[in-house]
């Protein structure tokens, strides 16, 4: 070995054709390094070496082995962990969030409440608006598709007359001050609870008992309250049962089963909770995230190329020492980043830069299969995602589209069952006779114009009923029947214009006048038209002229000749020989039933107009709606007294009413006993029904008392 040719001893060389010199140089070079490290490689624990004396089996590496070495990339098996991962996927993965939000918006689109009675429908709509029905419906479906289970906790309020007036005013321009509520009767607010905070009490045993009870885990809330991180006013506003449980040191609060309802998305009977819809595609979501990480690593490599500086050369029999390597390293470290570099060195230093081709890895092609798997798992066909070029044809698209529609229909069915029970609760609390109905916009992802046209043609041929057509159009037949009757009454009263179209002719009178003019039955002047044609030429001669009247007979009667042997009666054109007796009018002693009915109805209306104005003035009220039930009953009793005091067929006026009211006499004792026996009470029926029953009972009372 020769000495280095540098004064700093940075290089080592050796002589040609001298093996001992070369060995000494390599040994000296080996002593310059710090030694290399070991490379550890993971392998499976299972080994099948020497199964037979001459054969071995290669060790398997399945999904469980992969998950064992990478637990963060495995799909959880515990329900709570799986639910948390699904909720995280909704928050972080844009595809999942967009599809679930779209399904929630599409499924709750056009939700509304209808009722046969217009005033009751107005109340239901105002209540639905107050509880945020549309927004709560969207949150219901969103939670159902996201977590697989919807836990609804209901808060209620009492509907007093003031509250009823307030709720009715929500649908109009009248502004009413919102009253305060004390007791719970009618649903007033709905809260959707996080399934991660709900625990099933008694576990599996509650499934066999058929009655499940649930607890709310408030551990985090208690910890924050103990650390004084929650304001005092929030702690004071908690429900009494929650405050008591926290004060007792409990971490769980039992929930009232009467106020809580749980809905599941296609849950198995042996499972406590339903699997989220996203659970089936968690593997694909993990693969998508892994591909994105790979792209991030590739981008980092694209901007940090490797530059290789080689010190020494075997060809020139030159090897660097540790001092020589440090000298090159220090020179590179003192060069400013991003600027050009100029170095002067000997032949023992060479430079090589890596040639990166990362652009071949960065691309969208590798995502296609994963994205298709995610969309297919969510039930979204490729035709709706813009990836139809990689789809499996029309059949696969149709099945995916059908899957999406059925999922939306399933969610709507659960949502409808939820609202129907809440509407029934409102109906019982308010005393309505019939319940309201829930309606949605028709949900269709295809052009259904041909299907609707076919339904209309089948109805025209009486192959299917009109009720079936309305049901296919997602309308309620009973509600539509009431609405058609209401519109028909408005047209008959002249408050709405007549229908015009191929099936309705609004100009019937004009058509009849046209036919009469064409047939020559009337003149133009009869229909308000001026004509220059003479009158004698406007109508053609009548082929059957009228018969001239006979003397002493009616026009158009033919003269008759008496038969032989019969008395022909009084001779024609003869005069009276004796003075006729004068007719004496003998009026009936008692009016007939028809006259009595009309008189009672008109008289009672006149009494009502006089007494109502006086009674409202005494009570300082402006309308009858402001009166209480007791005041209404007192007012009707006054009307009955005046009616019973009035003689039959007498005209009613204000003076007579004042004389009856100032006499302080009771005229209707017997008739009131008759009303009580017949069950006629204004407190138990509507005012219109009460009036009809009262008039009928009074007429019957008049005729039976006279007998």
Q: Is the pLDDT of residue 233 over 60?
A: yes
Helix (H) or strand (E) holding 113, with range, is: strand 112-114
* φ, ψ for residue 278, nearest 5 deg: -80, -15
Q: What is the DSSP string of 388-429?
A: GGGS--HHHHHHHHHHHHHHHHHHHHHHHHHHHHHHHHHHHH
Work out the average pLDDT over 350-377: 75
Distances (CA, A) of 577 to 569, 574, 580, 629: 15, 9, 9, 75
Instruction: Look up the pTM and report it.
Output: 0.52
Question: Average model confidence (pLDDT) for the chain?
Answer: 75
List Cβ neighbours of 391 (8 Å cut-off, separation of 6 or more): 372, 381, 382, 383, 397
Confidence category of residue 50, pLDDT binned at 50, 70, 90: low
The CA distance from 642 to 627, in Å, is: 21
The neighbour count for residue 222, using CB atoms within 10 Å, is 16
**What pLDDT is attached to residue 36?**
39
The CA distance from 583 to 381, in Å, is: 97
Burial letters 323-334, b for 16+ CB under 10 A, else e = ebbebbeeeeee
**What pLDDT is attached to residue 255?**
82
Where is pLDDT greater, at 143 or 47?
Answer: 143
Q: Is the pLDDT of residue 95 over 70?
A: yes
Percentage with pLDDT > 70 across the chain: 70
**What pLDDT is attached to residue 425?**
87
Confidence category of residue 311, pLDDT binned at 50, 70, 90: confident
Work out the average pLDDT over 581-600: 70
List Cβ neighbours of 170 (8 Å cut-off, separation of 6 or more): 126, 129, 130
pLDDT digits (tens, 9 = 90+) for 223-232: 776 666 667 6
Confidence category of residue 327, pLDDT binned at 50, 70, 90: confident
**What pLDDT is attached to residue 35?**
42
Helix (H) or strand (E) holding 320, with range, is: strand 319-320
The CA distance from 652 to 658, in Å, is: 11
The neighbour count for residue 606, using CB atoms within 10 Å, is 18
Where is pLDDT greater, at 702 or 104?
Answer: 104
**What pLDDT is attached to residue 558?**
54
CB burial of residue 592 (10 Å; 0-12, 13-18, 19+): exposed
Q: Is the pLDDT of residue 44 over 50?
A: no
Which two structure tokens, joined as six digits, stand for 379?
Answer: 């039930």
Work out the average pLDDT over 231-242: 67
The CA distance from 53 to 42, in Å, is: 27
Confidence category of residue 136, pLDDT binned at 50, 70, 90: very high
Helix (H) or strand (E) holding 153, with range, is: strand 149-157
**What pLDDT is attached to residue 184?**
46
Three-state DSSP state, 48: strand
Q: Is the pLDDT of residue 14 over 90?
A: no
CA end-to-end distance (rounded Å), the chain: 155
Closest CA to 350 of 318, 305, 303: 318
Work out the average pLDDT over 664-676: 77
- Is the Cβ–Cβ distance between 157 and 184 less than 8 Å? yes
pLDDT digits (tens, 9 = 90+) for 474-513: 788 888 888 888 888 888 887 887 777 666 676 777 777 7
List Cβ neighbours of 509 (8 Å cut-off, separation of 6 or more): none
Q: Is the pLDDT of residue 3 over 50?
A: no
Q: Domain residue spans in the chain?
A: 79-212+259-305+371-442, 219-256, 306-331+345-353, 491-539, 593-706
The CA distance from 173 to 481, in Å, is: 29
Where is pLDDT greater, at 603 or 8?
Answer: 603
Beta bridge partners of 48: 57
Residue 601: HSE in the Cβ half-sphere, 13 Å Cα cutoff: 10
Work out the average pLDDT over 566-578: 68
Lowest mean pLDDT among 26-30, 79-83, 592-596: 26-30
Q: Is the pLDDT of residue 179 over 90?
A: no
**What pLDDT is attached to residue 447?**
55
Confidence category of residue 5, pLDDT binned at 50, 70, 90: very low
Where is pLDDT greater, at 687 or 29?
Answer: 687
The neighbour count for residue 474, using CB atoms within 10 Å, is 13
pLDDT digits (tens, 9 = 90+) for 397-409: 667 677 788 888 8
The CA distance from 238 to 240, in Å, is: 6
**What pLDDT is attached to residue 292?**
85
The CA distance from 425 to 190, in Å, is: 14
Which long-range contacts (C-beta less than 8 Å, at least 24 apart) are formed by 34-43? 42/69
**What pLDDT is attached to residue 575?**
77
């Amino acid at each position: 070995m020769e000495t280095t040719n540098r004064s700093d001893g940075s290089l080592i060389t050796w002589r040609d054709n001298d093996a001992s010199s070369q060995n000494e140089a390599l040994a000296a070079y080996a002593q310059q390094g710090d030694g290399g490290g070991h490379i550890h490689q993971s392998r499976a624990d299972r080994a099948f070496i020497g199964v037979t004396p001459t054969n071995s089996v290669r060790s398997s590496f399945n999904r469980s082995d992969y998950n064992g070495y990478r637990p963060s990339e495995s799909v959880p098996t515990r329900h709570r962990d799986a639910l948390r991962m699904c909720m995280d996927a909704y928050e972080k993965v844009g595809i999942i969030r967009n599809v679930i939000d779209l399904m929630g918006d599409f499924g709750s689109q056009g939700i509304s409440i209808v009722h046969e009675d217009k005033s009751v429908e107005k109340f239901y709509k105002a209540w639905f608006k107050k509880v945020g029905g549309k927004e709560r419906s969207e949150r219901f479906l969103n939670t159902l598709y996201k977590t697989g289970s919807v836990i609804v906790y209901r808060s209620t309020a009492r509907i007093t007359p003031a509250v009823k007036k307030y709720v009715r005013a929500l649908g109009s321009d009248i502004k009413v001050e919102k009253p305060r509520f004390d007791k719970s009767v009618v649903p007033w607010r709905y809260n959707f609870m996080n399934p991660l905070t709900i625990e099933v009490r008694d576990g599996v045993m509650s499934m066999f008992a058929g009655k499940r009870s649930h607890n709310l885990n408030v551990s985090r809330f208690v910890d924050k309250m103990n650390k004084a991180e929650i304001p005092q006013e929030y702690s004071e506003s908690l429900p009494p049962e929650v405050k008591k449980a926290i004060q007792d040191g409990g971490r769980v609060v039992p929930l009232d089963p009467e106020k809580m309802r749980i809905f599941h998305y296609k849950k198995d009977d042996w499972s406590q909770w339903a699997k989220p819809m996203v659970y089936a595609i968690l593997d694909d979501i993990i693969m998508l995230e892994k591909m994105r990480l790979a792209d991030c690593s590739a981008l980092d490599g694209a901007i940090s190329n490797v530059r290789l500086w080689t010190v020494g050369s075997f060809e020139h029999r030159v090897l660097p020492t540790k001092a020589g390597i440090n000298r090159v390293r220090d020179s590179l470290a003192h060069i400013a980043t991003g600027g050009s570099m100029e170095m002067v060195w000997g032949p023992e230093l060479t430079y090589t830069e890596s040639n990166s081709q990362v652009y071949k890895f960065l691309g969208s092609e590798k995502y296609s299969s994963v994205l298709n798997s995610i969309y297919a798992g969510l039930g979204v066909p490729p035709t709706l995602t813009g990836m139809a070029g990689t789809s499996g044809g029309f059949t696969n698209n149709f099945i995916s589209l059908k899957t999406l529609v059925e999922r939306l229909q399933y969610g709507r069915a659960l949502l409808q069952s939820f609202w129907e029970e809440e509407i029934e609760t409102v109906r019982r609390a308010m005393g309505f006779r019939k319940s309201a109905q829930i309606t949605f916009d028709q949900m269709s992802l295809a052009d259904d114009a041909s299907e609707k046209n076919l339904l209309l043609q089948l109805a025209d041929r009486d192959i299917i009923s009109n009720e079936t057509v309305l049901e296919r159009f997602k309308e309620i037949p009973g509600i539509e029947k009431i609405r058609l009757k209401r519109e028909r009454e408005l047209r008959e009263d002249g408050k709405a214009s007549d229908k015009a179209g191929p099936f309705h002719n609004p100009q019937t009178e004009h058509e009849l006048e046209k036919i009469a003019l064409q047939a020559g039955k009337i003149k133009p002047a009869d229909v308000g038209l001026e004509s220059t044609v003479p009158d004698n030429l406007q109508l053609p001669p009548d082929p059957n002229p009228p018969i001239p009247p006979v003397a002493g007979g009616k026009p158009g009667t033919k003269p008759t000749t008496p038969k032989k042997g019969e008395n022909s009666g009084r001779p024609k054109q003869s005069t009276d020989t004796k003075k006729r007796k004068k007719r004496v009018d003998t009026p009936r002693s008692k009016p007939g039933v028809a006259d009595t009915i009309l008189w009672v109805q008109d008289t009672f209306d006149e009494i009502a107009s006089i007494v109502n104005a006086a009674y409202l003035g005494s009570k300082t009220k402006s309308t009858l709606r402001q009166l209480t039930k007791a005041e209404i009953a007192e007012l009707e009793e006054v009307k009955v007294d005046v009616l019973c005091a009035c003689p039959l067929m007498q005209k009613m006026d204000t003076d007579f009413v004042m004389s009856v009211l100032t006499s302080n006499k009771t005229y209707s004792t017997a008739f009131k006993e008759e009303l009580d026996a017949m069950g006629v009470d204004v407190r138990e029926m509507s005012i219109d029904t009460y009036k009809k029953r009262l008039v009928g009972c009074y007429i019957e009372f008049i005729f039976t008392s006279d007998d």
